[in-house]
Amino acid sequence: MSWLQKNYEKASLGGAVAIALGLAFVGWSQVGSVTENFGTPLKGSGNNNAAVKDADLIAKARASLVLDRDWKQALDGERPVDLFTGIPLFISSKSPDTPIDLLKDAPVHPPIVNIWWIENRLDPGFEDSPVRDPDQDGFSNLEEYNSKTNPNDPASIPSLIAKLMYVRDESLGWVIRPSFGSEGKFPFKFQDTKNAVNATGAANMIAPGEMFFAKEPMMNRFKFVSSEIRMELQKATGIEKEVTIVKIEDTRPNKKGKIYEFPAPMQEERMREYLNYDRTAILSLEALGQNGKEFKVEENTKFALPPDSPKKEYLAKIVTPDGVTVEHVNAAGETKTYQIKKGGMATAAE
């Protein structure tokens, strides 16, 4: 028996290996001529194309690896910029075809200069940009600009007096009517617009230097100072007449030392002529989240802003139904005067 007959299985296996190697060589040798033989490239995709899809992107990806990816400061002329855009960042509503250069053009919202918006990273592109309040401290962009404070920091605020509103007044009208005196002593009667009454009778007339009244609402508020005789022109007759004038001192803390003069006796029809007022201002601080919270300050009394602050730096110098005059001593020691009209905010007096 021959070797082939004995080793038939081995011979078959060896022949198969030889044939496979031959076919592999033929296939490899034809790779470079695919386009020539079949008219189809190895890359890309197409109808009935057996090539790898998007193989052409491999070359692009490899090329991108050698690109210079270092960021360099961009310039617009000599001006460094961080961003380029295909459209103008700002345009005028009156001239939409004309871009606005915030560094060169006139202020968008006078008197705020354009550079202020850039430095504070705020958008001037809204019609109401000046009255917006980005840090929500109660002060607008315009108020922060005028005060040179930080519009993005709620702890950096202008003087609070700028946000003080005069809501209304609470006024109490009153008069003291002396009656006929004796030996320099006089009885007195107090009446006010709320119908409160105090009185000292003829049996306990008040001498100069003594305090009166003994009961509320005006207990021990007034002191009788002195009396004198004057000549007064009578409006009804046009004739001068001797009139006794009494002087009374107010000891209320906000009116301490003020002297009032009343004729003795005072006729009822002259009461309105000698009417005095205790005035209280109803105020509201429209900032720091206290908008609409009212607080009271008597005329010629110091108060704080915010109202709960321990440092009272403001003085309600004059209170009337139409307005309040407030004085404030600033950090430089200068006394500044502000006028607040009813329903309005404080403005510095000229």
For residue 340, being part of any structural domain is answered with yes
Burial label, 68 (beta-carbon count in 10 A; 0-12, 13-18, 19+) = exposed
Q: What range does the domain containing 286 cover?
A: 160-169+279-348
Q: Which amino acid is at 178?
A: P
For residue 265, being part of any structural domain is answered with yes
At which of 123, 153, 183 does a domain end? 153
Gap between the Cα atoms of 284 and 343, Å rounded: 10
Once rounded to an integer, what is the mean pLDDT over residues 93-116? 87
Distance from chain centroid for Cα 74: 37
> pLDDT band at residue 119, thresholds of 50, 70 and 90?
very high
Pair (284, 165) in one structural domain: yes
Highest average pLDDT, of 7-11, 54-58, 71-75, 311-315, comes from 311-315
For residue 60, being part of any structural domain is answered with no
Gap between the Cα atoms of 90 and 97, Å rounded: 10
> pLDDT band at residue 34, thresholds of 50, 70 and 90?
very low
Pair (260, 179) in one structural domain: yes
Q: Which amino acid is at 301?
A: T
For residue 5, being part of any structural domain is answered with no
Pair (165, 296) in one structural domain: yes
> pLDDT band at residue 71, thresholds of 50, 70 and 90?
low
Contact 108, 102 (CB under 8 A): yes
Pair (260, 291) in one structural domain: no
Whether residue 84 is predicted with pLDDT greater than 70 in this model: the reply is no
| Comparison of pLDDT for 209 and 49, the residue scoring more | 209
For residue 30, being part of any structural domain is answered with no
Count of structural domains within the chain: 3
Pair (268, 289) in one structural domain: no
Among 336, 349, 342, 301, residue whose Cα is nearest residue 324: 342
| Comparison of pLDDT for 349 and 209, the residue scoring more | 209
- Who contacts 221 (Cβ-Cβ below 8 Å, separation ≥6)? 213, 250, 251, 252
Q: Which amino acid is at 241?
A: K
